[in-house]
Chains A and B, each alone.
Chain A
Amino acid sequence: MTPFDTVFSMAGHSTVPVLALIHSGISTRYIIIFTEELEQNMNHFESYLEQKEWGEEAPHVKCLKIGSIGDYETTYAQIKEIFDERSSLSVYSKGIFLQNGAKQLLLSMLDMAPESPRIFLREPLTIHCFVKDQEYQKVVTLDVKEILNSRGLDLSESDTLSLPNGEVLTGVRVDMDQRNRLDFTLTVASLTHEDIIIMTYLSEIFGRNGAQYTIIRNDRSTRTSKTAASHIKIIFKEDK
């Protein structure tokens, strides 16, 4: 099922929505627009795309950088330019993925192409397309390794996590939760600031809401845990 010629999407802090989109097979081309704040993450995403083995029908994925999220006038003009360049395509062959990205930019895209089909992501990982009065659905499957790779991380067989900078983390368990989000869990005997910094770093890569971050500690001291941001869950569990 490839109802679209091109699908436009904004990149967000979480990698899963865009990853699900390009794996859905609903289009032959994807234009992923990202603000300069996300450049680092997108560099890893592009490296991932280069290495990715798609099989027979590899989609064309193009990543386009625009200005800063804080510079609305510039980013608006750049998005308009991207849309104008593809104005020859029929309205219904251009879809807009509305799951990712800053709300003001998504709504601007929609204002530029109000008739374009809309595409959403429903949990757990189903792509919904609305074209005129019709609705299509496509269930997508992603595995942990795929998601990690798209941000430049790698999970080895011995459960060590290689970071984009070449450093290696041991002891971090990576699972998929019920909502198909990554779930990072670090178990430590005694909580240190380094543990919190590791989780903070991971949440910078995958977004505060893009994954779960949990530290299970065996000590009762709460002193260090006060420095953790609210999206990092710190649980006390007595070592048996």
Chain B
Amino acid sequence: MTTSHLYCIFNANDPTPTAIAIRSLNFQSVTVYVIGHDSFSEPQRKNLDLLKRWATGSGKEGHWPDGLWDSDWDWPEVESDVTFQLINGIDSDIFGEVQADHFFFDLKGGTKAMSIELMDAANQVFDSPEFIFSNLGESLLLSKGVVLPRGVLALRELTYLASGYVMNPSFVPLREDALAIQTHFSFTQETKKSSETKEIFEVARFSKAFFKSIGKKVPADKSSRNLMEQHFLEDFATSVLSLSETVVEAVGGVRFLDPSFKNSKGAAKWLLGKPYIKKKLEKKGLHKPCMALLTSSASEEENEKRGGAIGAVRNYLHIMEIDVLAILSTGELIGIECKYGRYDHEDVHRIRSICQRLSMRAIPVLVHSKLTSSNPYGVAELSFTEMGNAVELIRLLNTRTLLTSPGIEKAASVSPPSKNKNKTKEIGNEHLAPVNKERNALHCLPLIEIAVVSISSTGGNYSTFKRGMKRLQISMENMDIALAELGQKMGFKTTNKPDTNWIEWDVEDPIELNSADKVINNSESVSHPSDGKVDFHKAIGSLLLLVKSSPRSWSEFLVELRNSGFNVKGLRQRIIKNFADELKFEVVPGDKLVDSGDDWIIWN
């Protein structure tokens, strides 16, 4: 068996890339160069401590009362022999006498200048050093131009490295249960009337038939049922998300603990002092044992005598929590806040800030019970009825936010003179063709917001607004819902008047969902196919039709699908198999796809 050794640079501002490098290729030994340690800032020193602890397989810091730390909060220890070497600069003397058959150099961590210095030094000392660049989910072999797919770090490892918190999930979905939930999912639509504004609006509710088919008991009284459904929404979102092709792991009811008992103890004492928690634990005779556990250093045997105190205390040690957390194959995290009833912009901002605290790679999402998904605050707000396509929809909504910035929107349609293009595009010779298709109003809220402000401030009427939307290629189909969303956020409502008074500003009581509002109509149960494959099929189908009317290159076609979050592996074969007969076309051989420009598809 041959042995391999990895040299890499500690990435001081984010230890995750270094951890990914260490785990990437089963190295027997690893040297991590920590450059300029003496001038590290406090956060950079903390990041180094995080990486060292991560390598041991546990974030546990200092003394914890016996039995209180749960081994489920740990992760597998790094098997490679890792050495951290503090150096002030890189030269050919830093490598030392390491015995191995192969030497790898991961260049992801550190600044560009550091990586170049490491590359130069390695070239001076080693024969054919292998330079790699480990990203989340893949390692690039820089000397060969090849990508090797790799496993990503586990969710608990990534959250620890990014935030320093240890993860304690309360719900991990079983695949068969998740499949049952996805298969049997159905919902009803209810028309509600706001007690405050008297506005009528529609919301979705889990159907009784759905609960029955998955064996979940539905409480008879309304408030208990609402409570159960609110709680179930978290399990539902976690389960359905866990089935997505791009999701590696999804957990629910996630609590984040400070791995130092000294800090966690403070959080627990504060929570145990809350009257409703205190009362709940006192009923079970657990409040005193819990407090004792936090204040004494009892032995394991004594702790066992305290019955469920350890289990109970573990539920209150956290600093913050999140309803659903998932990791994608790209290494991105998705953090979800679930709201079955009323919510407002503060809830949206809260999940955004929790995700920011958690990781720079965390995407915030709010899942609600409205019938449509939108993105008015730059955070995807998803209807739970659309959870089956959650990842694709989140990407779509977030992409639209960028695309609908005022200048970007129009710049996309600016085409430089063709003479210019021909002169400069030696490779590929491709350009984006304008997409002549109206967009869903709900995906263009920032643009509509600007239009509302500018048209209403200049005295424009509703017709002016409609003309503006047409010019911006935004469909009027969901415009009433879009305007209601924006009205809620900006404080206006539409009046149906054709003149300049079509908008009424300073509406004091924004329209919000309220689970206590009166249900005035229950519609029929609506079954919902939650299978992402159906929509992938649809997406390719409609994109192919778009290619027919507005030709584009294979690369552009791939980019459009990738940007929508779809896996494009084996795409040519899939297109031929599923669409060639139906839409009557042929596709050039695989090795000609890129070179054929817009002619990669031949319509018969």
A221 to chain B: closest CB distance in Å? 12
Contact with A along B388-425 (1 / 0, CB 8 A): 00000000000000100111111110101000100011
**B513 part of interface (Cβ distance < 8 Å):** no
Interface centre among B108, B140, B145, B425 (most CB of A within 10 A): B145
Chain A residues in 8 Å Cβ range of B555: 36, 67-68, 74
Among the stretches A161-169, A170-178, A210-218, the one at the interface with B is A161-169
A73 touches B446 (CB 8 A): no
**B131 part of interface (Cβ distance < 8 Å):** yes
A44 to chain B: closest CB distance in Å? 8
B116 touches A110 (CB 8 A): yes
B424 touches A46 (CB 8 A): yes
Contact with B along A185-207 (1 / 0, CB 8 A): 00000001110011011001100
Per a CB cutoff under 8 Å, which of B409, B431, B432, B594 touches A74?
B594
A194 touches B420 (CB 8 A): no
Interface centre among B113, B405, B562 (most CB of A within 10 A): B405
Q: CB-nearest residue of chain A relative to B429?
A: A65
In the assembled complex, the Cα of A192 lies from the Cα of B489 at a distance in Å of: 12
In the assembled complex, the Cα of A192 lies from the Cα of B449 at a distance in Å of: 10
A96 to chain B: closest CB distance in Å? 10
The verdict on A194 contacting B449 (CB below 8 Å), with A46-B420, A200-B405 known, is yes
Chain A residues in 8 Å Cβ range of B174: none
The verdict on A167 contacting B146 (CB below 8 Å), with A50-B420, A107-B133 known, is no
Total B residues in contact with A, Cβ cutoff 8 Å: 53
A167 touches B426 (CB 8 A): no
List 7 A-B pairs, minimum CB-CB distance, nearest first: A165-B410, A76-B145, A201-B405, A201-B407, A43-B416, A63-B424, A104-B133
A49 to chain B: closest CB distance in Å? 9
Among the stretches A77-85, A86-94, A134-142, A231-239, the one at the interface with B is A77-85
A202 to chain B: closest CB distance in Å? 8
B559 touches A68 (CB 8 A): yes
- 27 inter-chain pairs at a CB distance below 8 angstroms, sorted by A residue, are A36-B428, A36-B559, A39-B431, A43-B414, A46-B420, A62-B424, A66-B428, A67-B428, A67-B555, A68-B555, A68-B562, A70-B562, A77-B145, A78-B427, A103-B108, A108-B142, A114-B120, A114-B123, A152-B411, A164-B410, A165-B409, A165-B411, A165-B414, A194-B449, A197-B406, A197-B450, A223-B345
A223 to chain B: closest CB distance in Å? 8
A163 touches B407 (CB 8 A): yes
B559 touches A103 (CB 8 A): no
**B147 part of interface (Cβ distance < 8 Å):** yes
B112 touches A106 (CB 8 A): yes
In the assembled complex, the Cα of A118 lies from the Cα of B431 at a distance in Å of: 32
Chain B residues in 8 Å Cβ range of A18: none
**B68 part of interface (Cβ distance < 8 Å):** no
The verdict on A40 contacting B107 (CB below 8 Å), with A111-B142, A204-B402 known, is no
**B119 part of interface (Cβ distance < 8 Å):** yes
Per a CB cutoff under 8 Å, which of B120, B406, B430 touches A167?
B406
A65 touches B428 (CB 8 A): yes
**B349 part of interface (Cβ distance < 8 Å):** yes
B450 touches A194 (CB 8 A): yes
**B378 part of interface (Cβ distance < 8 Å):** yes
Chain A residues in 8 Å Cβ range of B427: 64-66, 78, 81-82
**A209 part of interface (Cβ distance < 8 Å):** no
**A47 part of interface (Cβ distance < 8 Å):** yes
A111 touches B408 (CB 8 A): no
A84 to chain B: closest CB distance in Å? 12
Given contacts A66-B428, A118-B116, 19 further A-B contacts (CB under 8 A): A46-B424, A47-B416, A47-B420, A68-B559, A68-B562, A103-B108, A103-B112, A104-B140, A108-B142, A111-B143, A152-B411, A164-B414, A167-B406, A167-B410, A193-B450, A193-B490, A201-B407, A204-B405, A205-B407
B119 touches A110 (CB 8 A): yes
Chain B residues in 8 Å Cβ range of A68: 555, 558-559, 562
**A98 part of interface (Cβ distance < 8 Å):** yes
Interface centre among B115, B142, B449 (most CB of A within 10 A): B142
**A226 part of interface (Cβ distance < 8 Å):** yes
B145 touches A193 (CB 8 A): no
Q: Which residues in chain A, 23-82, are within 8 Å of chain B measured between CB atoms?
A: 36, 39-40, 43-44, 46-47, 50, 62-68, 70-74, 76-78, 80-82
In the assembled complex, the Cα of A164 lies from the Cα of B450 at a distance in Å of: 18
A107 touches B406 (CB 8 A): no
**B377 part of interface (Cβ distance < 8 Å):** yes
Chain A residues in 8 Å Cβ range of B142: 104, 107-108, 111
**A227 part of interface (Cβ distance < 8 Å):** yes
In the assembled complex, the Cα of A46 lies from the Cα of B425 at a distance in Å of: 11
A65 touches B402 (CB 8 A): no
In the assembled complex, the Cα of A47 lies from the Cα of B133 at a distance in Å of: 35
Chain A residues in 8 Å Cβ range of B108: 103-104
**B534 part of interface (Cβ distance < 8 Å):** no
In the assembled complex, the Cα of A167 lies from the Cα of B471 at a distance in Å of: 14
**B220 part of interface (Cβ distance < 8 Å):** no
B32 to chain A: closest CB distance in Å? 18
A193 touches B119 (CB 8 A): no
Chain B residues in 8 Å Cβ range of A77: 145
In the assembled complex, the Cα of A64 lies from the Cα of B423 at a distance in Å of: 10
In the assembled complex, the Cα of A149 lies from the Cα of B517 at a distance in Å of: 56
Chain A residues in 8 Å Cβ range of B407: 163-165, 167, 201, 204-205
Per a CB cutoff under 8 Å, which of B145, B349, B377, B449 touches A108?
B145
A190 to chain B: closest CB distance in Å? 12
B115 touches A107 (CB 8 A): yes
The verdict on A166 contacting B410 (CB below 8 Å), with A73-B145, A227-B377, A227-B378 known, is yes
Q: Which residues in chain B, 103-132, are within 8 Å of chain A measured between CB atoms?
A: 107-108, 112-113, 115-116, 119-120, 123, 131
Chain A residues in 8 Å Cβ range of B454: 194
Chain A residues in 8 Å Cβ range of B453: 192, 194
A226 touches B424 (CB 8 A): no
Chain A residues in 8 Å Cβ range of B428: 36, 65-67, 78
Chain B residues in 8 Å Cβ range of A201: 405-408
